[in-house]
Amino acid sequence: MKPVLFRFAFTDKELMRFEADHLPHFYDKLHLHPELQITLILKSEGTFIAGDYIGSFKAGDIFIIGSNLPHVLRNTDAYFEGKKNMRAESLSLFTNEQLFQDQFLNYKETQVLKKFLDRAKFGLKVEGDTKTMLTSLMWKLKTASGFDKFMQLFEILKLLSESKTTRVLNKHLNSEAYSEKEGKRMMDVFQFTFNESHRIITIDEVASIAHMSTTAFCRYFKTHTRKTYIEFLNEIRINNACMMLQKEDAAVTEVCYQVGFNNLSNFNRAFKKIMKQTPMEYRENGE
């Protein structure tokens, strides 16, 4: 899969790259890279897509993005309006792909690390005590240098390899590769959906964005995402609804129509199917 292939310019003397981002919004194009990525969200919110997974992100979340897993952190629309008080901030660790050569991972002592890296390919969200400890280690890593930096890296990898509180985000790894041109086509569909999910969208309309017939588009989208376009659209809408329910006092009916549903019963049904609880239960649970 080649949505946008990133290559980090590691030198021969670098095992890792650490980035502290302070931006108007995060990079909003679907992309992938061979490096393992660990990202702590400090500020902002939005939708996180990783492989087949769609969910929200907010300050305090930590995600593990495995090698060559297509992903994007797409901030909510407000972050694209140029407001100076709205910033997207994060701490991210990227490991040099040369660090995990097969020979290194074949040793008895590194088998627990190998298992973690295999799980990371599906994407992980860090929860529980591990989240608290990893947040502290990421801040320490920000100021570390030399051999201390190396030791912090492996302390993080040890923590994650032994953790019981990392949640796998994808059930499947998508083996359907497609060209850079097709990757752009898929990103155009994603971008259109992000921007227009608040209104009625027809399959014919979105197929035209992909420059395909309706039948060909439906088959193409299901092949590459393991879900229908309507399922994808509903997941985006429900994710937007979750963010509104968390921070606003709007009535459930109002949220329903604002995120793009035109029928309350359909909204409630879709919400419960995806979130395993009703909108009111979600709001009351503060999740």
What whole-number distance in Å separates Cα of residue 67 and Cα of residue 3?
14
pLDDT in tens, 156-166: 999 999 999 99
**Residue range 200-215, pLDDT digits in tens:** 999 999 999 999 999 9
In order, the DSSP letters of the chain are --SSB------TT-SEEEEEEEESS---S-BB-SS-EEEEEEE--EEEEETTEEEEE-TT-EEEE-TT--EEEEE-GGGGTT-TT--EEEEEEEE-GGGG-HHHHTSGGGHHHHHHHHHHTT-EEE-HHHHHHHHHHHHHHHH--HHHHHHHHHHHHHHHHH-S-EEE--S--------HHHHHHHHHHHHHHHHHTTS---HHHHHHHTTS-HHHHHHHHHHHHSS-HHHHHHHHHHHHHHHHHHH----HHHHHHHTT-S-HHHHHHHHHHHHSS-HHHHHHHT-
- Rounded CA-CA distance 171/123 in Å is 10
3-10: average pLDDT = 56
The pLDDT confidence band at residue 107, using thresholds 50, 70 and 90, is: confident
- Per cent of the chain over pLDDT 90 is 65
94 CB contacts (<8 Å, ≥6 apart)? 8, 16, 17, 18, 19, 33, 35, 36, 37
Pick 153 or 250 by higher pLDDT: 153
Tell if the pTM clears 0.75, that is, is over it: yes
If pLDDT is split at 50, 70 and 90, which confidence band does 63 have? Answer: very high
Q: What is the pLDDT of residue 284?
A: 87
β partners of residue 32: 5
For 121-140, b where at least 16 C-beta lie within 10 A, e where not — what string? bbbbbbeeebbebbbebbee
More confident residue, 234 or 175: 234
Grade residue 4 by pLDDT with cuts at 50, 70 and 90. low
Q: In which band, very low, low, confident or very high, does the pLDDT at 79 lie, cut at 50, 70 and 90?
A: very high
**Domain boundaries along the sequence of the chain:** 16-168, 180-285
Instruction: Grade residue 1 by pLDDT with cuts at 50, 70 and 90.
Output: very low
Q: What digits encode the pLDDT tens for the residues 19-61?
A: 999 999 999 888 888 899 999 999 999 999 998 899 999 999 9
Q: Which of 71, 42, 74, 72 is nearest to 58 (CA)?
A: 42
How large is the average pLDDT for residues 171-181?
62
Q: Write out the two tokens for 30.
A: 């679907």
Choice among 78-92, 181-195, 241-255, 263-277 with the minimum mean pLDDT: 181-195
Average predicted confidence (pLDDT) for the chain: 89
β-strands 124-126, 46-50: how paired? unpaired
Which position has the token pair 């909510």? 76
State mean pLDDT over 221-245. 92
Cβ of 285: how many Cβ atoms within 10 Å? 8
CB of 5 closer than 8 Å to CB of 33: yes
Q: Is the pLDDT of residue 231 over 90?
A: yes
Q: What CATH number has the domain spanning 16-168?
A: 2.60.120.280
Instruction: Tell me which of 33 and 102 has the higher pLDDT.
Output: 33
Burial class (CB in 10 A: 0-12, 13-18, 19+), 48: buried
Taking domain 180-285, whether its CATH number is 3.40.50.720 is answered by: no
Q: Which residue did the predictor score with more confidence, 179 or 196?
A: 196
C-alpha to C-alpha distance for 75 and 87, rounded to whole angstroms: 10
Q: Which of 95-99, 100-104, 130-134 has the highest mean pLDDT?
A: 130-134
Q: Give mean pLDDT, residues 122-140.
A: 97
Percent of the chain with pLDDT over 70: 91
Q: How confident is the model at residue 228 (pLDDT cuts 50, 70, 90)?
A: very high
16-168 and 180-285 share one fold: no
Residue 7 has pLDDT above 80, yes or no: no
Rounded distance between C-alpha atoms, residue 110 and residue 60, angstroms? 29
Q: How far apart are CA 53 and CA 71, in angstroms?
A: 9
